[in-house]
Amino acid sequence: MRKIIIDTDIGVDDAFAVRYGSLVFDLIGITTVNGNCTANMATQNAKLFCSHYKKNIKVYKGASRPLVEPPSPPSFDIHGKDGLGGVYDNPFDDKAPNAIEYLINNVKENPGEITVIAIGPLTNIAIALNLYPDFAKDIKELVIMGGAFGFNGHNGNMSHFAEFNIYSDPHAADIVMQSSMPITILPLDVTNKVQITAKEVANTNDEFLKNISKFYIDFSLKQKIFHDMAVHDALTIAYLVNPQAFTTIKKPCRVITSGIAKGQTVIPRDERVAPNDCFLGLKEHTICIDVDVNAVKEHLLNTLKI
Ligand code: RIB
Ligand code: CA
């Protein structure tokens, strides 16, 4: 069974991804990162998740801030005051071993076997690459929820151009995109399309997911582009379960790190080699640009049913 590590700023849609991933793959560890909530809160949330589902999964704490800029404010307006809808008291502390060391040691000791699923800002992944460049060689693959390329009319959710995970640490994202790791990207172009209703969540009989979703669904229903709740991060698992449900392109990708388009993920729009070509020599990553919504929703909801 595929061994996965999920790197997360565990908010609500992250919880769907972690639950889904724990049911279909061998989830060997959870590493936390600053994003939807602080790394401390994400660590507590991951412990709460594991305790609720009685999963003996080790939790590791990662970066508390982006590589260069000060941290963006947590997304409490979307994920609630604790990152998980504000419905549960959390008895756990925020202490945990170092996430970067865990990521490096696991990938190094199991070359070609570990899939890392990054569903928050890419700070931990960039630091792991900086400290251990062979991380790019030893990892089986990296699957990222992040970015926006304008397919299906979907662009940024933090600005006209930039998606939250990339916007939150553009320097880390650009380091990751320039690496030679085999990367698959699940951008808003596809994740905005897969939305589930409160009733569909309730039908899974998963009380934890139902309860933490209430706040996030209320937020979603106030947004023009959503008619229900987008489960962005869960699409990383859905891709690994059924890649045939996705339409993909192979392109090198860079990230704009400053200015009005900070956090925008960019790909070459034609085959020419431009003067000062920022894509020269870069690995072509797999970018998902469309999805069979019904197939993905059916498997996700059926798997989450207890
Ligand atoms: O833009 C969506 C991403 O930002 C998801 O990972 C969500 O959890 C938030 O972190
Ligand atoms: Ca996330």
pLDDT digits (tens, 9 = 90+) for 94-135: 999 999 999 999 999 999 999 999 999 999 999 999 999 999
Would you say residue 280 has pLDDT above 90?
Answer: yes
Number of C-beta neighbours around residue 55 at 10 A: 13
pLDDT for the residue 302: 97
The CATH number of the domain holding residue 95 is: 3.90.245.10
Report d(CA 115, CA 138) in Å as an integer.
10
* Domain count for the chain: 1
Q: Is residue 187 within 8 Å of residue 146, measured between CB atoms?
A: yes
Note the ligand closest to the C-alpha atom of 219: 1
Average pLDDT over residues 26-44: 97
For ligand 1, pick from 232, 236, 265 the residue to mutate: most ligand atoms within 8 Å of CB. Answer: 232
Could you report the per-residue pLDDT of 196-214, keeping only the tens digit for each? 999 999 999 999 999 999 9
Full-model pTM: 0.97
Q: How sure is the predictor about 221, in pLDDT bands with cuts at 50, 70 and 90? A: confident
For ligand 1, pick from 9, 158, 192, 216 the residue to mutate: most ligand atoms within 8 Å of CB. Answer: 9
Q: Is residue 166 within 8 Å of residue 125, measured between CB atoms?
A: no
pLDDT for the residue 72: 87
Report d(CA 257, CA 265) in Å as an integer.
10
Which candidate in 79, 171, 232, 285 is catalytic? 232
- Domain interval for residue 136: 3-304
Name residue, tokens 């997360």. Answer: 8
pLDDT for the residue 224: 79
